[in-house]
Amino acid sequence: MKISKLLFLSIISLLFISADKPMQTFDFRIRTITAGVTLENLDDLNSINKAIAFLEKAKTIYTNNGYEVQDIRISTQNLHELVTNKPTEHTIKQLKKIDKILVQNSISLSIGELISGNQYDENLAEWTVELIKETSNINFNVSISSESHGIHHKTIKTASEICLALSKNSKGGEANFRFTASANCPDGIPFFPAAYHKGKNSFAIGLEYPNLITKVFEKSNWENAETNLKNELNKQFKPIEIIGQTLQTSDWSYDGIDTSPAPGLDASIGQAIETLTGKPFGSPTTLSACSIITTVIKNLDVKSCGYSGLMLPIIEDMVLAKRAMEDNYTVEELLLFSSVSGTGLDVIPVAGDISKETIEGIYRDVASLSIKYFNKALSARLFPIPEKNAGDIISFDNPYLTSSVVMKLN
């Protein structure tokens, strides 16, 4: 009797669970399983539905093995590869049809870079405002640097206009949660909004594991922290990789694990760093702790992809948000930490009246850093908060964001 390959994989997955032992619990969760698909065009709903079916089965298999899976997501090739010239009203109508399916299935989508190369588009900011208004689950970015073309000075101007337009046309500036300026980012990143896809359909895993790092650092010191962390992460992540490999089919290839320790409101990377340093985040030795974590996550014995760097998202992390309120570090220092470890500037709250030129300057610094070092993937997701000034306390409707303070820019 023949059985389907997906049924076979489901049976295989159950072998990871011992029948006579309780389900194992973990000090981390799978933040996302992200499927990368190449669409024939923006009317290709069939490929979207096939990706959803695959993701649902993959989520079930990981869940059956005791892992909590927070999200499943889809990324496509860059939007500029799917439109003939520049995105139009018709493009939004096509994306609305996709978004309807996404909402029904509680899935987010990244359409990658809106424009190609180094160019200025004076109409793109207005178009993104309309896209945000007409859709709920679609994310996007623009590229401000690349290994092949260096800093994209014209695109930086476009990106700054998008950032400000989204801020001014959404409550609390929260539309910028779905947009980032990406710097030298490769395809296959499972985290949004920098994600985009190339080539054959594939999938990647993104993890949320600051609590695991904290647990390791509770029993470590400066001399053994790196070794202890590497041993524990290899031990915990190898089974995730094995399951991912069993999910491979002729239709879906396994890209690997983005080993970035993405934080959450109950999983603080700030807390993990402070556990090692014994000091508030931003104090001397913070950079050293960031460097240790990054050295480990870039040298694990699993197939890695995406950023595989340290994320320091201010308003997604309770401890980082608190230390910002205490004025314990600056935006410039966050960029310094990125020079040895990070993935850039993520969800950084800044004053609503920030100038376009200041945003361009920040983007230019991030872009410069991304090409200064080989294969350095960074992004900058800024949050100008309307009617708020530096030092003001802020809160958000988005359940994934925590209260913090509008940060000063020197």
Per DSSP, the residues of 216-245 read HHTT--TTTHHHHHHHHHHHHHHHHHHHHH
pLDDT at 24: 67
Q: What's the pLDDT at 23?
A: 57
pLDDT for 67 equals 97
Tens-place pLDDT, residues 344-391: 899 999 999 999 999 999 999 999 999 887 668 999 999 999 999 999
Backbone angles phi, psi at 172, to 5 degrees: 65, 10
pLDDT of residue 10: 45
Q: CB neighbours of 140 closer than 8 A, spacing ≥ 6?
A: 79, 110, 111, 112, 113, 114, 128, 131, 178, 179, 193
Q: What was the pLDDT predicted at 374?
A: 65
Mean of per-residue pLDDT scores for the chain: 92
pLDDT reading at 57 higher than 70:
yes
120 has a pLDDT exceeding 70: yes
Cα–Cα distance for residue pair 94/107, rounded to 1 Å: 17
Whether residue 11 is predicted with pLDDT greater than 80 in this model: the reply is no
Q: Which residue has the higher pLDDT, 12 or 239?
A: 239
Q: Which helix (H) or strand (E) holds 129?
A: helix 124-134
- The fraction of the chain above a pLDDT of 70, given in percent, is 93
Residues 61-116: pLDDT tens digits? Answer: 999 999 999 999 999 999 999 998 889 999 999 999 999 999 999 999 999 999 99
Whether the predicted pLDDT of 21 surpasses 70: no
What is the mean pLDDT of the segment spanning 32-45?
98
> 267 and 316 in contact (C-beta within 8 Å)?
no
Q: Which residues pair with 69 in a beta bridge?
A: 30
Write down the pLDDT at residue 404.
94
Burial of 278 (0-12, 13-18, 19+ CB in 10 A): exposed
pTM value is: 0.91
Calpha distance 202→390 (Å, rounded): 43
**Is the pLDDT assigned to residue 36 strictly greater than 90?**
yes
Q: What value does the mean pLDDT take over residues 322-344?
A: 88
CA–CA gap between residue 373 and residue 393 (Å, rounded): 36
Q: Which residue has the higher pLDDT, 20 or 91?
A: 91
How far apart, in whole angstroms, are the C-alpha atoms of residue 196 and residue 193?
9
DSSP 3-state of 151: strand
Least Cα distance to 80 among 126, 124, 116, 121 occurs for 116
At residue 147, the pLDDT reads: 86
310, HSE (Cβ side, Cα atoms, 13 Å): 28
Instruction: Say if residues 191 and 258 touch (Cβ distance below 8 Å).
Output: yes
Contact indicator for 320, 270 with CB cutoff of 8 Å: yes
Q: Is 392 left (phi over 0), alpha (psi -120 to 50) or beta?
A: beta
* pLDDT mean over 249-257: 96
User: In this predicted structure, what is the pLDDT of residue 15?
Assistant: 44
- pLDDT confidence tier of residue 198, bands split at 50, 70 and 90: very high
Tell me the CA end-to-end span of the chain in Å, nearest whole number: 70
Name the H helices within 147-224: 153-168, 210-217
Residue 384 tokens read as 């100008």
